[in-house]
Chain A
Amino acid sequence: MTAISPAADKAATRETSIAIAEARARARLRRRHALVIGLRLAILVIFLGLWELGADYNIIDPFFFASPSGIFEQIWSWITEGTSQGPLWLQIYVTLEETFLGFVIGALGGIAAGIILGRNRLLADVFSIYIKIANSVPRVVLGSVFIIALGLGMASKVALAVVMVFFVVFANAFQGVREADRAMIANAQILGASPFQITRTVIIPSAMSWILASLHVSFGFALVGAVVGEFLGAKQGMGLLISTAQGAFNANGVFAAMIILAVMALVVEFIITRFENYVVKWRPAPFNEQGA
C-alpha cells in the first residue's frame, strides 16, 4: 500500500482559479443588484411622470386623483406652515403614541394569553370558542363603541389598536407554544426544569419565531386601528388630518397623509426586523445566504 498525495503545484493553480471564479461571481452579483435597483427607480419615475403628465393634460383629474407635485407641495406646506390642527410633527407624534401603546399592550396581552392557553389544554378547550367568536367580529366596528365609551381622547384609539393587535399575536403565540418540540420539553424536564423554567427556557424561545412573525403584521394593524379611531372622531392625529382633507375635497391632502403613514410604517418595520435578527441570532441562515 502506498499513500498518494496530490502534487503541490496543482493545488496552487487550483487555488488561483477558484479565486478568479469567486471574483467573477461577485461581480455578477453586484451587476445584478445594480440592475434591480435601477429598474425599481425607473418604474417609480415612469409612474410618477405619467401621473403628473396625465394631471397636467387633464387626462387624470387632479381634483379627484391629486398629482405628484400637488402632493409634494401639500407635504411641504404641512412641514413649513403646519396643518390646520397644528404642527405636522404633533400629528405624527399623537398617532405614533396611540399606535405604540396599542401595539405594546395588545402584543403583551396576546403573548401572555397565547402562552397560558397553549400550556393549559382545559383552558384552551374552554376559551377557544369565545376567541373564535371574538375574532370573527369585524373589529373596526368596535371603534365606534370605543369612541362612545371612552371619548374622543387617546384611550379610544389605543383600545382599537389593542384589539386589532391582540388576536393576531395571540393566535401565533398559541400556535408557537403548541408546536414546541416534545422531545425538547422532555429533555428539559429530565434535566431538572420546573414547569415555570420549561415555559421560560423552552416554550417561549421556541414560540419566539411565531410571535415575531406576528409582530411584523400587527404593527400595521395597530396603525390602522389608531388611524381609523382618529378618523371616527378625534382632536389630533393623522387620521383626523385625512378626514379633514376628505371633508375639504382635498385629494392631495389625503394622499400626502397616506404617504406619511406609509413612511412611518416602513421605519418601524425596519426597527422590528433589526430587533428580530438580534433576538433569534441562533437561527441558521437560509442555505443561499450561508458563507456570504
Chain B
Amino acid sequence: MQLQTMAAQKLSPAAPPADAAIAIDDVTLRFVTPDGHMMTAIRDFTMTVARGEFACVVGPTGCGKSTTLNLVTGLLRPTTGNVRVMGNPVTDISRDIGFVFQVDALFPWRSVIDNVAAGPLYRGTPKAEAYDKARDWIARVGLARFEKHYPHQLSGGMRKRVALAQTFINQPKILLMDEPFSALDMQTRTAMQDELLGLWSELKSSVVFVTHDLEEAVALADKVYVLTAGPGTVKSVYRIDLPRPRVMADIRYDPKFIEIAKVIWNDLREEVQLGQSRGLQTGH
C-alpha cells in the first residue's frame, strides 16, 4: 500500500487494549447449518473500538457483518476467542447497548409513541416520564405528527426513523447499527447521517456502523474495517482523519474524501468480486 498519505492511514491489527469499549479478540464463529454441517461465518476476527470512537464495517454481502454485531450484543456466542464490552466479557445482554436492526424490528401492534417508549418502559421508567421522553425523541426524528400512527401506516424511511428514536431514547453507550440507512432515499439519508453524527457527539457513545456503502463509511467513520468475502475476517483497517464536525451534503465533494474512498475501494473491490462470483457459483 503505497498511498499511506494524509488522511487514510492503514493500521496494523493489534491485540485490543483492556479498556476499549468493544474488543473482539481472535474470534471464530461457526453455525450449524440445517443439514447438520458446520459453516464458518467469521474466523480469526479481531476488532477494537475505543470509547467514543465511530467505527464502520464494510464488506461483501454474506461476509459476516451482522454476525459480528450479534457477537457484541451477546445474542450470539463465539465458538472460539472472546468478546469484551467496556472491559467485561459478554455474558448477558448489556444495558449499555443499542441496536438498530437491518430488518424492520418495530412492534406492529404498537403506535409510534408506544414503540419509542418501549425501552424506558421495559427498564422501569415511570410511564409519564417515558412518554415525555418518547415525545421528545419522536420530534427529534421529525415525526411529531405521527405519534399515534401504527408502523404499517408509515413509509419505509419513517419506520427507520422510529427505529432510531427507539434506540437512541435509551442513550446507549454502545451503538450498533446494521445498515440502518440503506433503505432510505438520498436526501433523507444525508439528513439522518447528520443527525446521527450530532447525536453521537452528544452522547459520546462508541459506534459500530455496518454498511454496504463505502462512501457512507468514509464520511461517517474514524475507522473503517474492510472484511474479506466469507468466512469474514478483517482484511484491513483504515483510520480516517477527515476533520470534524463533518457535513454530509458537502463531504462527498471534498478531494481528500474522494482520495480516501478510492484507496479503500481498491482494497474492497477484489472481495466484492470474489463474493459475487462465489454467490453465482452456489446459486444464491
A residues apposed to B, CB below 8 Å? 181, 183-184, 186-194, 197, 201-202, 205-206, 208, 280, 282-284
Contact = CB atoms under 8 A, between A and B. Distances in A.
A141 B150 CA distance: 47
Interface string B94-132: 010111010111111111000000110011000000000
Given A201-B118, A284-B152, A183 B109 contact: no
Nearest to B169: A191
Given A181-B105, A184-B105, 9 more contacts: A183-B101, A188-B118, A189-B93, A190-B97, A191-B122, A208-B109, A282-B110, A283-B152, A284-B152
B166 interface: yes
A187 B105 contact: yes
A192 B75 contact: no
A188 B122 contact: yes
A282 B150 CA distance: 6
B73 interface: yes
A205 B99 CA distance: 22
B40 interface: no
Nearest to B151: A282
Contact of A186 (B101, B106, B108, B111): B101
Interface-central residue, A188, A192, A280, by most chain B CB under 10 Å: A192
Contact of B105 (A183, A192, A193, A194): A183
Contact of B103 (A183, A191, A193, A283): A183
Interface in B50-75: 73, 75
Interface of B: 73, 75, 93, 95, 97-99, 101, 103-111, 118-119, 122-123, 150, 152-153, 166-167, 170
B169 to A, nearest CB: 9
Contact of B122 (A192, A205, A280, A282): A192
A191 B119 contact: yes
A137 B111 CA distance: 44
A205 B122 CA distance: 16
A190 B110 contact: no
Contacts of B93: 189-190
Query: Which of A189, A190, A208, A280: most chain B CB closer than 10 A?
Result: A190
B170 A191 contact: yes
Contacts of A181: 105
Contacts of A191: 118-119, 122-123, 166-167, 170
A190 B166 CA distance: 11
B109 A187 contact: no
